[in-house]
Amino acid sequence: MRAKYLIGLGVILGALAYLIFGGLGQNLVYFLTPSEYLQDQGRYQNRPVRLGGLVKQGTVHYDKDKLELRFVLTDGVAEVPVVHKGTPPGMFKEGQGVVVEGRFQEGVFRGTNLLVKHSETYQAPKEGWTPEEVRKLIEEAK
């Protein structure tokens, strides 16, 4: 009788552990750095991946007519050119940390989604502030 309870408890704990740790791997957000990509380029060609790093200073070019954003992503060691279709997020700027979802094609990373790292500080507007004062606060945070 006691063996049944131990087996049942083991099955329940095993199922619970599988649900917790099995689903964890699917929810982790992992990205490659430009150095990791350059070490094994063939492995990542035409496959959906996330590429993370810093936007290199002086490399940002945005074509408003084509809605095409071009920049170089670096990890301080290696660099990868990126082309992203669409309007860049409001907080996108040079020297900013970003993660780009997309595919490597012909030596260029073609981005479909752009995630921008933002400041972790939040300062609420004070009571009675005008919209202009709030806008100035937001601009200072960029």
Cα of 10 vs its chain's centroid, Å:
39
Residue 14 CB neighbours (<10 A): 10
Q: Is 118 annotated as a binding residue?
A: yes
Structure tokens at 55: 């936007």
Q: Is 92 within 8 Å of 116 (Cβ atoms)?
A: yes
Q: Is 122 annotated as a binding residue?
A: yes
DSSP 120: S
- What is the Cα Rg of the chain in Å? 22
Q: Is 83 within 8 Å of 63 (Cβ atoms)?
A: no
The binding site for heme comprises 118, 122
For the annotated binding site, the residues are 118, 122
